[in-house]
Structure 1
Amino acid sequence: MKQWYEELFLNYADTYEKEIYTQGTLGEVDFIEKEINHDKNCRILDIGCGTGRHAIELTKRGYSVTGVDLSGSMIKKAMEKAETAGLNIDFQIADARNLPFEQEFDLAIMLCEGAFPLMETDEMNFEILKNAAKALKKDGKFIFTTLNGLFPLYHSVKEFIESNREDGSFDNSFDLMSFRNISNMEIEDDDGNLKVLECNERYYVPSEISWLLKTLNFSNIKIFGCKIGNFSRDDVLTTEDLEMLVIAEL
C-alpha cells in the first residue's frame, strides 16, 4: 500500500507546477546563491527536487546540481524540462531515507517539504537528515524548510481556550502528543481525477530541529521564518509562520 505522499505525486507533476507554493523559485535561488557566496564550484544536492525547479534554475546560473526524488513521474517531468532548456542535470529516482552519496556535495537543499517531514515515523524523518549529512563534504552547508510546530501548537491552544462547547470537547486534527497533523486533502491529478488523501505530517519545534542536527555534528544552526520566494536571515520565526527555514553547517 502506497503512503499518501507517494499517491499524491503519482500523476501530479503538471498540477504541482501551478501550485502557489512553487512560484517563489527565483527568489529562493537568489538566497541560496548568496548563502554559498556565488561560488560556481559548489556542488549541490537537491533532495526531494520534485519537477526540478530549483535544480534547473541553479544549473542555468552555472552550478552543478544533482536532483533526487522518490516520485518517478516528478523526475520524468524534471528531465523533460531540463532537456527542453538544453541543460544537462543529473536527476535520479531515489529515496531520501537511503541515498547513495557520501561526502560528495558542498551544499544540500531540501525545500518546500521535499521529503522531510512527510514520513510516517520520526525515525524515518531522522534518516533523511542523516542521509543529507552523509552526502555533504566536511564544511558543507544544509539549507531546508520544514513545518513549524509553533504554528499549530499556538493556534490549537488558542482555539482550545476559546472553545465554548458545553461538554468540554474539542475537535482538533493536530495531536499535541505526537506533533502530527492528520487531515484530508482533496486533489485533482493531471488527468482530472479527484482523490482524497489522508495526510499525516510531522511538525517540529525549533529546539527539536537543533537537537537532531547537533546529533549529526551540524553546528552554527540558525532557524528563521519562511516566506515563499523571499527567504531571509532577517525573518524572525514566529507563531504565524507555517514553515521555518533552517541553515546548518558541518
Structure 2
Amino acid sequence: MARKISKRVAKNRDGIDRDRYYPLEEAVKLIKERASAKFDETVEVAMNLGVDPRHADQMVRGVVNLPNGTGREVRVAVFARGEKADEARAAGADIVGAEDLVEAVQRGEINFDRCIAAPDMMPLVGRLGKVLGPRGLMPNPKVGTVTPDVAAAVKASKGGAVEFRVEKAGIVHAGVGKVSFDDQAITENVRAFADAVIKAKPSGAKGNYLKRVAITSTMGPGVKIDLGSLAAS
C-alpha cells in the first residue's frame, strides 16, 4: 500500500524535482519559500560521505565556526576551578562547576547543549563518559572543548561553533541557521560547514569522499545540492 502524504507535505514538495541536483543558491530559495511552520525553522544540511566510520582511520569529526551563527541559543557548561571558572563566567557560560557539576550530571541534570572542560578537570570529567558520550557532549580536545582557553571556547560556542561527527551510515548533518536568515547568510553557512567537512577528510577514505549533499528545513522537504555549487564563486 502506498504511503499517503499530507496536503501540507504535498504542497511543500510541489515544484521540487526530487531527481534534480540544484545549485546551492536556488536550493536555499526553495527551502525558504516552503518553510510554513509557525516557528522559525532550522535549516539543516546532510552530507553523505564515502567513509566507513567503523574504521578508526575513516572517522570524520571536527568543529566549524559558522560565519553567520546558528540563530540558536546555546547553553554552555564549563568544568573549571578558580581563575578558569571566573573566565568562563565572564565569557557567558551558563553553568560553571567542578565536583558539584559532576554530581549534577551523574544525577541526570544535563541542562546544557555544549560542554567545555579545562585540561586539569578531565580526570573528573572522565567519569561522565557513559553519560555525556552517547549525547555527543563529552569534551574533546580535537574539537576544542578541552582547552586551557575556556573563555574563547565559550564565546565560540555562543557565537556559532558547530561540532560534527559522522554517523554509522556515513552521514554528517547539522543545523546551519534559521529560515529567517537572508539567503546569503544561509548560503555562506552551508559552504563553511561543507568546507570544514571536506577538510576533515580522513586518511583512510578511498575513492569518492563527498557523495551527496542535501538541505532541508525542520518541517520542509529535502533539496539535493549540485556539489559543484558548494565552492564559493
**Larger fraction in helix:** 2
TM range (shorter): under 0.3
Scaled by the length of structure 1, the TM-score of the pair is: 0.24
Scaled by the length of structure 2, the TM-score of the pair is: 0.25
Q: Which structure has the larger Rg over C-alpha atoms?
A: 2
